[in-house]
Chain A
Amino acid sequence: MPKVFYTLPDGTERVVAAEPGDSVMRTAIRNGVTGILGQCGGELSCATCHVFVDERHAGEFPPVSEDEDDMLDVAATDREDTSRLSCRLVLAAGQEVHVTVPEAQL
């Protein structure tokens, strides 16, 4: 099973076992990880699933699309080089991912 390590804004970490094929966003919502809202259910319409992906995973996910890029530009928490919309981060079997949840999504 894939595993996601969420570092929350208060510094605590939550580790969640995920289903392969689920996104980092969906895994958070399903398991009640706060701070990721995913208002649109993963249809790239809301930008409330912003996360910072740990640098060690650079290249593990498909590149940022034009829409995602534009949306990250206007995300509620300023974007960084490691910013992604987590509904785009689909987990493969056995994959382990470390992400940090930003202060605000709205």
Chain B
Amino acid sequence: MSTGRLLVVGAGQAGAQLVSSARELGWDGPISLVGGEPHAPYGRPPLSKAFLRGQAAAGSLALRSAAFYREREVDLVLGERIVLLDPPSGTAVAASGRRWRFDRLVLATGARPRRLAVEGADLDGVLVLRDLADAEALARRLGAVTDLVVVGGGFVGLEVAATAAAAGVRVTVVEAAPSLMNRVVGAETAGFVEAAHREAGIRVLTGARPVRFRGDGHGAVTAVELADGTDLAAGLVLVGVGARPRDALARAAGLRCDGGVVVDAYSLASDGRTLAIGDCADLPDPTPGSDRRLRLESVDNAVEQAKAAATTLVGDPRPYRGVPWFWSDQGALKIQIAGLALAGDEAVVRPGARPGQHIALRYRGERLVAAEFVNAPADFLVVRKALAQGAPLSREAAADTSMPLKRHLAGRPA
């Protein structure tokens, strides 16, 4: 196959998978993988967990070895930020002035953390967490503070809160919504998780909004002021209020963007030729039968969309389909979610077989559409598979604990 020059902008989870899969599927032209960070592609999940605990060195996070890129003749270019793209002429320009010519272009630029537009948001000690440099700064400072305020009760915020609390830091989580992880899990699971975090000594304030970060007069943060007047002491603040797709390059290049680079099921952008994958893409929901559009921020999506996109590149296009899944390790809580629930989907809560477990199966009418698990990884695997295969599980069976879920799903008569 003569395939031409491939340029991948963004050397993260999705970019690394894309070049691996493209080579595996027979792309034989030159491949350049260009990343703005000084590091070879690495996994971000440990940044808020093992790395922050000091249990994983920076070098151990790499997704592929140096030999991997070398053997596959992938030119991995680090520390170069692409600032200009011209897809029609096949040109890319980096901030340094370095240029690339390409025949096919893949955008895998990820997302940047959202910041809060409140007074004092730029004080020293108000941090965000997206990349290794952020994590190193956070880890260094956590060792030296007594009070951490986490703004935002989503995955990343709660993971950091749990890690810090376990290290003996006094932690307060401030969440504007009425429950934690508001957009991703139902009220039952959120309640279970909140109770567990409280038990671990974390103070959780829901329905609470910071209006001001106050400093010590020398530019360092000392307190967070909430809308109801509450004043929280804060030697350190982590703002974890979500991420925005990095789509400015695409927009400037004339590609349609709508809170992410708009792509179809083949990861093709509006010019029908450029591809976009991972956190930066606005894509059709890969869930079979769904016709909505969304953005997904997960390792599963970065990897699976990249694999599907590689089939587009080599001229054997397969649409991206699958049941999205997520995990979040928050201290002693292993949270796993299979499928995407919508706000109105009802929950059948199934008592866990062991203490500390929680299972909520989400139903749209009589159809199982998603499920949330705490400390029940085997049940998660069984239900994820059932969702992928469209295997039915009645509400009655879901609530019936006389048999494990595995048996309910396997034991049906042919």
Contacts and interface: CB of A to CB of B under 8 A. Distances in A.
Given A22-B60, A30-B62, A67-B334, 10 more contacts: A40-B45, A40-B327, A41-B299, A43-B329, A45-B334, A70-B377, A70-B378, A71-B381, A73-B378, A74-B406
A67 B299 CA distance: 21
Interface string A34-62: 10000111011111000000000000000
B32 to A, nearest CB: 19
A12 interface: no
A70 B400 CA distance: 19
A39 B378 contact: no
A45 B377 CA distance: 6
Interface string B50-88: 000000000010111101100110000000000000000
A45 B24 CA distance: 26
A40 B406 CA distance: 21
A71 B68 contact: no
Contact of B63 (A21, A29, A74): A29
Contact of B300 (A31, A39, A67, A74): A39
Interface pairs A-B: 5 shortest CB-CB? A70-B378, A30-B65, A45-B327, A41-B43, A74-B381
B303 interface: yes
A43 B382 contact: no
Nearest to B44: A41
Given A41-B43, A67-B377, A71-B378, A30 B327 contact: no
A32 interface: yes
Interface size class of A (residues with CB under 8 A): 20 to 34
Interface of A: 19, 21-22, 26, 29-32, 34, 39-41, 43-47, 67, 70-71, 73-75
Contact of A39 (B24, B46, B299, B382): B299
A74 B380 CA distance: 10
Contacts of B64: 29-32
Given A44-B334, A45-B377, A74-B382, A31 B63 contact: no
A27 B299 CA distance: 19
A47 B378 CA distance: 9
17 contacts: A19-B60, A21-B60, A30-B65, A31-B67, A32-B71, A32-B72, A34-B24, A41-B45, A41-B46, A41-B299, A43-B45, A46-B381, A67-B377, A67-B378, A74-B378, A74-B381, A74-B382
Contacts of A43: 45, 49, 327, 329, 334
B370 to A, nearest CB: 16
A40 B300 CA distance: 8
Contact of A44 (B43, B60, B299, B377): B377
Nearest to A70: B378
A12 B353 CA distance: 41
A48 to B, nearest CB: 9
B336 interface: yes
B63 A30 contact: yes
Contacts of A73: 378, 406
A30 B45 CA distance: 16
A39 B45 CA distance: 12
A65 to B, nearest CB: 11
B20 interface: yes
A47 B303 contact: no
B302 to A, nearest CB: 11
Contacts of B62: 30
Contact of B303 (A39, A45, A70): A39
A73 B381 CA distance: 10
Contacts of A71: 377-378, 381
A26 B57 CA distance: 14
The listed residue with most B CB atoms (<10 A of its CB), out of A19, A70, A71, A75, is A70
Interface string B84-95: 000000000000
Contacts of A34: 24
A29 B43 CA distance: 12
A63 to B, nearest CB: 17
A39 B303 CA distance: 8
B65 A31 contact: yes
Contacts of B71: 32
Nearest to B43: A41
Contacts of A30: 62-65, 68
Most chain B CB inside 10 Å of its own CB: which residue of A21, A31, A74: A74
Most buried by A among B299, B303, B334, B378: B378
Contacts of B20: 32
Nearest to B71: A32
